[in-house]
Chain A
Amino acid sequence: MSYDVNDYLLADSMPYPFCPGCSHGQVLDALGKALPMVGVAPNRVALVTDIGCIGISDKHFGMHTFHGLHGRSVTYASGLKLGNPDLTVIVLVGDGGLGLGGHHFLHAARRNVDITVLVCNNFNFGMTGGQHSVTTPHQAVTATTTEGNFEYPLDIAGLVDVAQGNFAARVMFHDPRLPDLIAEAIRSPGFAALDIWEMCTAYFAKRNKVSRSVLEEQLRERNLSTGIVVRRDRKGYVEQYRHSLEALQGKPLSEGTELAAEFPRPVYPRQSVLIAGRAGQKVRSTAMILGRAGVLSDLYVTQRDDYPVTVMTGHSTAEMVFQPDPVNELTVDAPDIVLITSEEGRDVIRERLRGLPPTSVVYALEELLPLDTPARVEPIAADAVNIQKKKTQIVLACVAWMAAKTQVVSLEALRRAAWFDERQSIADENLATLAEMESRLARTR
C-alpha cells in the first residue's frame, strides 16, 4: 500500500500556529513529504514532540502523537520503541529541548536506540522569548546575551558521532534535500539524528543576521559541512537486546526455595541474636544461613541488616529474632546473644553492649576483649574458628560455635541450611567449614 502527504499531515488542521516566516512549518512540510517516501503506514508511526514552539505541532499529524515534558522527548521515544519495537518512532525537538535533555540524546545515540530525532535548531528558545540556547552561535545577541554570546555552541551531529550513534546529518531548513535526508534517517537502523538549522523570525532573526550566506559563513568558520556526516552500521538496540538475552527466554522465573520444618522446634519463647562484624566477612549471607536454619526448625525469624555506604570496609551487622510465632519486633532493646567478629562490629555496638543485662551472653573473638558490658562474655579462641585463615569463613565458624553453645538452632539445622545456597561452590565451602567446626566442637565437648 502506498501513502501520500495527506495521510500524515492533516490538511484540515492548517494553518500552522507559528509566527510569519518561522521555518518550523517548512520542516513539518518536509516530514510530511518524507514519510510517504519511507512508505510506513501512519498507524505504525509515533511522533514524539518536545516542548517549545516546535512542540505544539502534534495536532497537525495523523500518526500517533506523544507530547510530553521539555527535554525528555528522547526518553519517551525510547520507551515507545522498546514497548513496541514494530513502531517507527520520530522525535521533533528544539535546540532548547536538546540542551535540556542532552544527556538522553547522548545515551540514546550510544545505545543506538532505533529512533529518529529531528532537532529543529533555531539557535534560541523561541517560545519563552528568545533566550540563548546550547546552539546559539558565539557573539550572537539574544534576550540573555545582550552583549553577544560568550559561550560556544554545541555541534549536534558531532555529539552523535562521539556517542557512536549510527546516523547524523546537518542541513538547512530550505535545502531541497531535507525530505530525502529525513527519509534516509528514518530508514537507517539504529539511532539517527538531523541537525536542522532554522530561522526564528520573532527573536533570533530580529537580533542577528540569518541569511543563507551568514549561515554558510558560520559553517565555514566552525569547519562544518551539510549533508550526512555520520554513518555507521552498528546493530540497533532492539536487535542487540533480543540477541544478547535470547538465552534467558523461556527460562522459568526464579521462585523461592521452600523450607520445610525438618527439625524439631527448639523450646524457647524467643531468642534474639546480634551479629556484629565487618564488611567482607559475609555477615549478611551467613546470617541468612542461620535464618534458614531457624525456618527449617519450625521457627519464625527476622533478620535486619545494617552497614555503611562503603563496600568492602566498615561494619556489618545482622540483628535476628527467632520465635515460634510471627515476629514484629525487628530490633530488640537487649539481644539475648551477641556475636562479635571484628573491631568495626564491636565499635558500632559499643553503646548497646553497655546496656545489656547480665543475662545476655556475648561471644567475641579473644583479640577483641576486654568489652565494656554487664553481660556474660565468652571468648572464642582465634584458633578455634580459624578455617584455613579464610576471612570469609570466620563468621560462619563463629555462628557454628554459638549454635553449639546455645539453643537457637542445632548444628544439624545449620548444615542443612547451608546446603540451600544457590551457588554450588559457595555451598560446598560453607558445608566444609561447618563439618570442620562440628568435628572440632565434638573434640572439645
Chain B
Amino acid sequence: MAREYIDGTEAIVRGALHAGCDFFAGYPITPSSGVLVRMMRELPKIGGMAVQGEDEIASIGMCIAASMTGRRPLTATSGPGISLYSENLGLAIMGEVPLVIINVQRLGPATGGATTGAEGDVQFVQWVTSGGLPMVVLSPTDVATSYWLTTVAFRLAEKLRIPVILNTSKDLVQTMETVDVSAWRKVEVEPRKAYAGGAPYLPYRFDELGDVPEFLPVGAEHQVRFTTSMHDEKGNLTKKPAKVDRTFRHLQQKILACQDELVLVDRDHQDGALTLVVASGVSARSARAAVDRVRSDGGKVSILTVYSVWPVPEQAIRNAAEGMSRIVVPEMNVGLYRREIERVLPGLEVIGVNRVDGEVLTPGEIIRTGRLGGAIG
C-alpha cells in the first residue's frame, strides 16, 4: 500500500513519463493547463523537451514533427483547442504519426465554460477530422485509470502509429483523491516496428493491409519521406485509384486488426438483473455509486464501464446486454454515447440520464431517472 492524495492531472503526467514520453508541446487552456505546466517542469530533467507553442496548431504541429524524429510526444488541450487540432489530427492519421492527445472536456461549444465540467466532446473526438477515418479514444473514470489509460494510449499510439486521444474531463483532472499507487495498472510501451534493413527503405510499405509500416526517424541514414498527402509506399503523392484505395483501407484496417487490445471495458454482471447501466468517464463513477446503492438495497442491476469508447466495443456491449430488457446511459451531455448504444442494441429500451449544467450526475438522479430503484429482478 502506497497511498497518496493527488488529482487526475498528476496521474496523466506520471503515466506519460513512465510510458517514455520525451516531448511535449501545448498551449495554456483551462482545465488542461496543469499538464502543460508539469511537463514544462519535468521533461528537462530527463533530457526531454517541452515547449509552449504560440497556439494549439503550432503545438500539435511540433509534436507531430518531433514524433517523426523518433520522440514520444504528448500534447494536452481542451474545447476550443481540440477544435484547432482538427486538421493536424488528420495529418497524424494520414502520415501514420504516433501521438498522444489529452482532451480535457469542459462545457462547450466554443469558449463555453472554462471551469465547467462536461462530457460534450464524446462524438466530436471520434470524427474530429475530415476524411472519415475515426480516431481511437480512451476515457478514464478516476485518477488510477487516468494513469493506466495514459500508458495504454502511448502503447497503442506507438504500436499502430496513430494519434490516440485520452478523453477526460474537468471533474477528473482536477479532482483530488486517495490513491494506492502500488496497485496502479500500467502497460508496457514497445518501440515502434523498426526498419529491418535489406531492401531499400520505403516509408509507407506494408504487406497486409493491417500491417504497420516500418519506422525510421527523419534524420536516419536512409532517406525518410513523410507526407500527409495521399501517397504511395514511397511517400510520393499519388492519385492512382488502386494505390489510393490500398493506402486508405490500410489506415482503417491496421486499427481493426488490433481489436483485441482495443476493447477495454469493465463488466460487472449481476445474476437476475434486467437493467444494465453502460457508462464512461466521470459519469461512470456516479453510475458505479448508483449501482452499489441499488444492490445494497436489495435491487438487481448490472454495469458495464467503457474505457475504450472508440471504436465502440460493440461485442462487449452486446455480451453485457444479454438477457437485459433496459439499458441506462448516464452522461454529462445531451445523450451522445447513447446513440451508439441504441445502434448496437436495437429493440432494447435505452434510457438516457443527462445533465448539461456543469454538475456531475449524482447517484441519486441516476437511480431516479434510470428507474434503477425498481430494478428488482
Chain A residues with CB under 8 Å of chain B are: 42-44, 46, 48, 56, 58-59, 62-69, 72, 75-80, 82-84, 86-87, 103-104, 106-107, 241, 245, 248-261, 287-288, 291-292, 294-295, 299-309, 326-333
User: Are A77 and B65 interface neighbours, CB within 8 A?
Assistant: yes
Chain B residues near A303: list those with CB within 8 A: 175-177
Q: Which residue of A lies closest to B175 (CB)?
A: A304
- Whether a CB of chain A sits under 8 angstroms from the CB of B240 is no
Question: B192-221 CB contact bits vs A (8 Å, 1 = yes)?
Answer: 000000000000000000000000011111
State whether A328 and B288 are in contact (beta carbons under 8 Å apart), knowing that A75-B58, A249-B44 are contacts in the complex.
yes
Chain A residues near B282: list those with CB within 8 A: 330
User: Are A79 and B64 interface neighbours, CB within 8 A?
Assistant: yes
Chain A residues near B83: list those with CB within 8 A: none
A248 touches which of B45, B95, B171, B222 (Cβ 8 Å): B45
User: Are A82 and B54 interface neighbours, CB within 8 A?
Assistant: no
State whether A68 and B228 are in contact (beta carbons under 8 Å apart), knowing that A84-B218, A328-B285, A329-B363 are contacts in the complex.
yes
Chain B residues near A62: list those with CB within 8 A: 223
Instruction: Determine the distance from Cα of A76 to Cα of B292 in the docked complex, in whole angstroms.
Output: 50
User: Are A256 and B6 interface neighbours, CB within 8 A?
Assistant: yes
Q: List 12 A-B contacts (CB under 8 A).
A: A68-B91, A68-B228, A87-B69, A103-B54, A253-B46, A254-B41, A291-B178, A302-B176, A304-B175, A326-B178, A329-B363, A330-B175
User: Are A256 and B4 interface neighbours, CB within 8 A?
Assistant: yes
Chain B residues near A294: list those with CB within 8 A: 5, 178
User: Closest Cβ of chain A: how far from B282's Cβ, in Å?
Assistant: 7
User: Closest Cβ of chain B: how far from A431's Cβ, in Å?
Assistant: 18
User: Are A68 and B64 interface neighbours, CB within 8 A?
Assistant: yes
User: Closest Cβ of chain B: how far from A202's Cβ, in Å?
Assistant: 19
The binding surface of chain B is classed by DSSP as mixed
User: Are B45 and A107 interface neighbours, CB within 8 A?
Assistant: no
User: Are A82 and B362 interface neighbours, CB within 8 A?
Assistant: no
Chain A residues near B286: list those with CB within 8 A: 328-331
User: Closest Cβ of chain B: how far from A16's Cβ, in Å?
Assistant: 14
User: Are A80 and B176 interface neighbours, CB within 8 A?
Assistant: no
User: Closest Cβ of chain B: how far from A386's Cβ, in Å?
Assistant: 28
State whether A309 and B49 are in contact (beta carbons under 8 Å apart), knowing that A77-B65, A288-B176 are contacts in the complex.
no
Chain A residues near B44: list those with CB within 8 A: 245, 248-249
User: Are A79 and B63 interface neighbours, CB within 8 A?
Assistant: yes
Chain A residues near B364: list those with CB within 8 A: 333
Chain B residues near A245: list those with CB within 8 A: 44
Closest 7 CB pairs of A and B: A79-B65, A75-B61, A83-B69, A83-B66, A79-B62, A328-B289, A245-B44
State whether A69 and B225 are in contact (beta carbons under 8 Å apart), knowing that A248-B45, A261-B3, A327-B177 are contacts in the complex.
no
User: Are A260 and B3 interface neighbours, CB within 8 A?
Assistant: yes
B contact residues, range: 35 or more
B218 touches which of A46, A72, A255 (Cβ 8 Å): A46
Instruction: Determine the distance from Cα of A261 to Cα of B3 in the docked complex, in whole angstroms.
Output: 8
User: Are A304 and B360 interface neighbours, CB within 8 A?
Assistant: yes
A82 touches which of B47, B51, B181, B219 (Cβ 8 Å): B51
Chain A residues near B71: list those with CB within 8 A: 83
User: Are A328 and B292 interface neighbours, CB within 8 A?
Assistant: yes
- Whether a CB of chain A sits under 8 angstroms from the CB of B190 is no
Chain B residues near A56: list those with CB within 8 A: 237
**Total A-B residue contacts, Cβ distance less than 8 Å:** 220
Q: A301-B178, A303-B176, A329-B289 are in contact. List 12 more A-B contacts (CB 8 A).
A: A58-B227, A65-B227, A79-B63, A82-B23, A83-B67, A84-B218, A87-B218, A103-B55, A248-B41, A259-B3, A309-B114, A328-B363
User: Closest Cβ of chain A: how far from B333's Cβ, in Å?
Assistant: 17
Q: Which residue of A lies closest to B47 (CB)?
A: A249
- Whether a CB of chain A sits under 8 angstroms from the CB of B252 is no
Q: Which residue of B lies closest to A330 (CB)?
A: B360
Chain A residues near B292: list those with CB within 8 A: 328
Question: B176-191 CB contact bits vs A (8 Å, 1 = yes)?
Answer: 1110010000000000
- Whether a CB of chain A sits under 8 angstroms from the CB of B70 is yes
State whether A69 and B42 are in contact (beta carbons under 8 Å apart), knowing that A83-B68, A300-B178, A302-B176 are contacts in the complex.
no
Instruction: Determine the distance from Cα of A254 to Cα of B217 in the docked complex, in whole angstroms.
Output: 30
Instruction: Determine the distance from Cα of A133 to Cα of B288 in the docked complex, in whole angstroms.
Output: 57
User: Closest Cβ of chain A: how far from B59's Cβ, in Å?
Assistant: 8
Chain B residues near A72: list those with CB within 8 A: 57-58, 61, 88
Identify the interface centre among B5, B51, B177, B360: most chain A CB within 10 Å of its CB. Answer: B5
User: Are B3 and A295 interface neighbours, CB within 8 A?
Assistant: yes
User: Are A44 and B219 interface neighbours, CB within 8 A?
Assistant: yes
Chain A residues near B237: list those with CB within 8 A: 56, 59
Chain A residues near B225: list those with CB within 8 A: 58-59, 64-65, 67
Chain A residues near B47: list those with CB within 8 A: 249
Instruction: Determine the distance from Cα of A199 to Cα of B295 in the docked complex, in whole angstroms.
Output: 77
User: Closest Cβ of chain A: how far from B200's Cβ, in Å?
Assistant: 13
User: Closest Cβ of chain B: how far from A106's Cβ, in Å?
Assistant: 8
State whether A43 and B221 are in contact (beta carbons under 8 Å apart), knowing that A72-B88, A79-B25, A258-B4 are contacts in the complex.
yes
- Whether a CB of chain A sits under 8 angstroms from the CB of B17 is yes
- Whether a CB of chain A sits under 8 angstroms from the CB of B233 is no
Instruction: Determine the distance from Cα of A229 to Cα of B81 in the docked complex, in whole angstroms.
Output: 37
User: Are A82 and B49 interface neighbours, CB within 8 A?
Assistant: yes
B5 touches which of A59, A103, A251, A288 (Cβ 8 Å): A288
- A-contacting residues, B341-363, CB 8 Å: 359-360, 362-363
Chain B residues near A59: list those with CB within 8 A: 225, 236-237
User: Closest Cβ of chain A: how far from B283's Cβ, in Å?
Assistant: 10
User: Are B174 and A305 interface neighbours, CB within 8 A?
Assistant: yes
B177 touches which of A253, A256, A302 (Cβ 8 Å): A302
- Whether a CB of chain A sits under 8 angstroms from the CB of B115 is yes
User: Are A43 and B222 interface neighbours, CB within 8 A?
Assistant: yes
State whether A69 and B91 are in contact (beta carbons under 8 Å apart), knowing that A56-B237, A83-B71 are contacts in the complex.
yes
Instruction: Determine the distance from Cα of A58 to Cα of B234 in the docked complex, in whole angstroms.
Output: 12
User: Are A252 and B45 interface neighbours, CB within 8 A?
Assistant: yes
- Whether a CB of chain A sits under 8 angstroms from the CB of B314 is no
Q: Which residue of B lies closest to A303 (CB)?
A: B176
State whether A259 and B5 are in contact (beta carbons under 8 Å apart), knowing that A58-B225, A248-B45, A253-B42 are contacts in the complex.
yes
- Whether a CB of chain A sits under 8 angstroms from the CB of B270 is no
Q: Which residue of B lies closest to A10 (CB)?
A: B223
- Whether a CB of chain A sits under 8 angstroms from the CB of B229 is yes
Chain A residues near B268: list those with CB within 8 A: none
Instruction: Determine the distance from Cα of A341 to Cα of B224 in the docked complex, in whole angstroms.
Output: 62
Chain A residues near B175: list those with CB within 8 A: 302-305, 330
Chain A residues near B220: list those with CB within 8 A: 43, 64
User: Closest Cβ of chain A: how far from B241's Cβ, in Å?
Assistant: 20
B61 touches which of A64, A79, A331 (Cβ 8 Å): A79
